[in-house]
Amino acid sequence: MASVLITGGQGFIGTNLANELRERGHETWRSDILHSADSQFIRCDVCSYRQLERIFREHKFDFVYHAAAEYGRWNGEAHYENLWRTNAVGTKNILNAQKEFGFRMIFFGSAEVYGDYDGVMTEDVMNKIPIKQMNDYALTKWVNELQILNSAEMDATETVRVRLFNVYGPHEHYSPYRGVVPVFVYRALHGLPYTVHKGHKRTFEFVEDICRSFANIIDNFHSGEVYNLGSEKQYTIEELSELVMKHTGGNLSGVTYKDEEPFTTRFKIADSSKAKTQIGHNVTVPLHEGIKRTVDWFKQEYRVGG
């Protein structure tokens, strides 16, 4: 069994991952910027190296899942001061701590690093084709990957990078800057209108599937490796919206249909075969079931929709 820390451990994926790791018997601690009732929790803002150092002086960890980050494209544009501080400085702090304390890191990256590339996304496509990231959030995630690669070369730190696509599911709280699933589900349950952009196709990955893959990395850790954790089946945003309306009992009259959203690719096609082979990545929960379970969680969490 391993000793593990999850930064951003009270966030969406962090919460689900802590559940998965604890079920497997790993000693799992979480850190985040606010306080928590969790007995295995240490408050820490990753932007403060002093607070990070305190953790690693008091606890020995084999693995750190570095999930603490400002998330999302429009969130990053609206709150870019926080974005650059948490993502660029925060990750640099983790790398510095890694150099000093010697743990292995699993980094939470994003498919946003594929930027304007619209072909099949294999992990090594950026070694072959120049790619431009199209917003500051995407830039921070690519910066983080290069910080990790440079640190591995200069300081022999050991890290596995993961690139996430559209992870959704329980424990993702609503804000207008969140992904399309929680935005549609929350707004439908509250009778609020939302907008569907036509012409885009995306894959959606249920968070428990993703957390199994994350947890598997501990058992087969290859420093320097990078994995797409995507899935195959593509859905239009219209199809997603219809599923949400079916399970929330919401009314499609609140939906505005618009043309393609500018400055984002129409399709994102991920190749996750490496993750399947090496860490047993497997998306088992189909979208209709995942949406149903997500809606159930939202109903309970926000005490809405019976």
Q: Is 245 in the site for its own copies (CB under 8 A)?
A: no
Q: Binding its own copies by CB under 8 A: which of 143, 162, 167, 210?
A: 143
Cα 74 from chain centroid (whole Å): 15
Q: Which residues pair with 195 in a beta bridge?
A: 256
Q: Is 162 in the site for its own copies (CB under 8 A)?
A: no
Choice between 47 and 279, CB closer to its own copies: 47
Q: Is 131 in the site for its own copies (CB under 8 A)?
A: yes
Classify the phi-psi angles of 280: left when phi > 0, otherwise alpha if psi is within -120 to 50, otherwise beta.
left
Q: Binding its own copies by CB under 8 A: which of 1, 78, 154, 304?
A: 154
- The Cβ-side half-sphere exposure at 224, using a 13 Å CA radius, reads 5
CB of 200 to its own copies, least distance (A): 18
Of 12-20, 35-43, 83-91, 98-106: span binding its own copies (CB under 8 A): 83-91
Q: Does residue 19 sit in helix, strand or coil?
A: helix
Q: Binding its own copies by CB under 8 A: which of 10, 133, 157, 213?
A: 133
Q: Is 157 in the site for its own copies (CB under 8 A)?
A: no
Q: Is 44 in the site for its own copies (CB under 8 A)?
A: no
Query: Binding-site residue total for its own copies (CB under 8 A)?
Result: 27
Q: Is 128 in the site for its own copies (CB under 8 A)?
A: yes
Buried-exposed string 91-109: b where 16+ CB fall within 10 A, e elsewhere = bbbbbbbbeebebbbbbbb
Q: Is 39 in the site for its own copies (CB under 8 A)?
A: no
Of 122-130, 186-194, 229-237, 279-287: span binding its own copies (CB under 8 A): 122-130
C-alpha separations of 74 from 14, 110, 178, 268 in Å:
21, 15, 9, 18
The residue among 39, 68, 27, 28 whose CA lies nearest residue 51 is 68
Q: Binding its own copies by CB under 8 A: which of 18, 139, 218, 279?
A: 139
Of 82-90, 206-214, 236-244, 293-301: span binding its own copies (CB under 8 A): 82-90
CB of 121 to its own copies, least distance (A): 14
Q: Is 129 in the site for its own copies (CB under 8 A)?
A: yes
Q: Binding its own copies by CB under 8 A: which of 2, 33, 126, 245?
A: 126
Q: Is 92 in the site for its own copies (CB under 8 A)?
A: yes
Q: What is the DSSP letter of 217?
A: G
Q: Is 156 in the site for its own copies (CB under 8 A)?
A: no
In whole angstroms, how large is the CA radius of gyration of the chain? 19
Q: 7 near 41, Cβ under 8 Å?
A: no
Contacts of 32 (CB under 8 A, 6+ apart): 7, 8, 9, 10, 11, 14, 41, 43, 44, 68
Q: Is 306 in the site for its own copies (CB under 8 A)?
A: no
Q: Is 50 in the site for its own copies (CB under 8 A)?
A: no
Instruction: Give 126-182 as a 3 state SS string.
Output: HHHCCCCCCCHHHHHHHHHHHHHHHHHHHHCCCEEEEEECCEECCCCCCCCCCCHHH
Cα 270 from chain centroid (whole Å): 15
CB of 92 to its own copies, least distance (A): 5
Site of interaction with its own copies (CB under 8 A): 80-81, 84-85, 88-89, 92, 126-136, 139, 143, 146-147, 149-150, 153-154, 263
